[in-house]
Chains A and B, each alone.
Chain A
């Protein structure tokens, strides 16, 4: 489904990785592993199309994502280090706005259902900046229940989450993969068995 061909990434005159190729098919969970500074975030950002690689290409169903960007973007869900929520808006406002921008039709009941699943009931009207770091992350993660996207690219999704939150997210990733979706994720703690079977991609730190 998603294929990366010989990607090279250079940041500030330092080669982060060279000729990296990977392929993910429907129903696969790819766990990108590597030490700090190995280029995990850069790799994921290249896969989403936010950054352009020095050389190489990312193919979605055989087409370069630079050419067929809209069909790719409508099936992509990316969660980065930054949550993409505005601190002075409430969780509901943030999510409603995000859904409108991504042209996802969603009823209010679905929205409340997603917030209930991530454990934010009663906090939906509070400006997001008054929530704890873990709760802010949960607001961002609620998108996983809202946008019907096939490809999930999640950069360090477990940051700031508590034990229950991690279990919830792993279970969600597992059920997404079982339904034929694709998950590409990075994390510094190994995925537990709850996340289901997954393949590992190692990035090495280069000097």
Chain B
């Protein structure tokens, strides 16, 4: 177990050494959300109606920016080869790496979200629903994203391909997440949507580490 703690500590340490890479997706998120009142309409009603969708789309796009970082450095500098040869479980290492990625890229986003909710004139109920969907949905983004990163990490320019692979996969999550926030706006219960997102998350938690390990092995071959 302490082996995996070592991987965790090292990854957190490296993430905080590369502060620019941590901040860029957050700034991107902030700027995309800021553009909507300017570009679409600054009327509070319109913003409230499009708000949940805007926030979730911006969150998905900004997460794509940070996604590649998960395995890129380790793959390019040969650390991944040494992981494979260390005899540790690659699925375990993948799970730890996804966890670190979620902590360093999505927790700051959650912290920033009250500000964004204010920008888009979300009500308190909508905000609570938004936080709930982000808490359940963003780990799903990390887990599924990691599979695609594992597959594309061996390619030279995997960035755009990664977005093309992942955006269609994230559409169901987007639909249920925004529908939950919309229900909250109408004071309707939104547990069904949350339950479906949770189900997707649990399934991904069970399967993704092994799929990531496999995709990393394929890239290594």
Chain A: residues with CB nearer than 8 A to chain B? 48-52, 69-70, 73-74, 76, 78, 80-89, 93, 97-98, 100-103
Contacts and interface: CB of A to CB of B under 8 A. Distances in A.
A98 B6 contact: no
Contacts of B191: none
Contacts of A89: 10, 13-14, 17
Nearest to B75: A82
Q: From DSSP, what is the main secondary structure of chain B's interface residues?
A: helix
A73 B2 CA distance: 19
B79 A73 contact: no
Given A88-B17, A100-B3, A101-B6, A50 B85 contact: yes
Given A51-B221, A102-B86, 6 more contacts: A81-B78, A82-B81, A85-B78, A86-B14, A89-B10, A100-B2
A78 B82 CA distance: 8
A100 B87 CA distance: 12
Contact of A100 (B6, B13, B14): B6
B81 A97 contact: no
Interface in B1-42: 2-3, 6-7, 10, 13-14, 17-18
Contacts, number: 74
B6 A74 contact: no
A81 B81 CA distance: 11
Given A51-B220, A88-B18, A101-B6, A82 B85 contact: no
Given A50-B220, A78-B81, A97 B6 contact: yes
A70 B3 CA distance: 16
Kindly state the interface size class of chain B when it binds its partner. 20 to 34
Contact of B3 (A83, A93, A103): A103
- Identify the 7 closest CB pairs spanning chains A and B, nearest first: A82-B78, A84-B78, A84-B82, A73-B87, A101-B86, A88-B17, A100-B6
A74 B86 CA distance: 7
6 contacts: A80-B78, A86-B79, A93-B10, A100-B2, A101-B6, A102-B85
A93 B13 CA distance: 11
A70 B87 contact: yes
Contacts of A51: 220-221
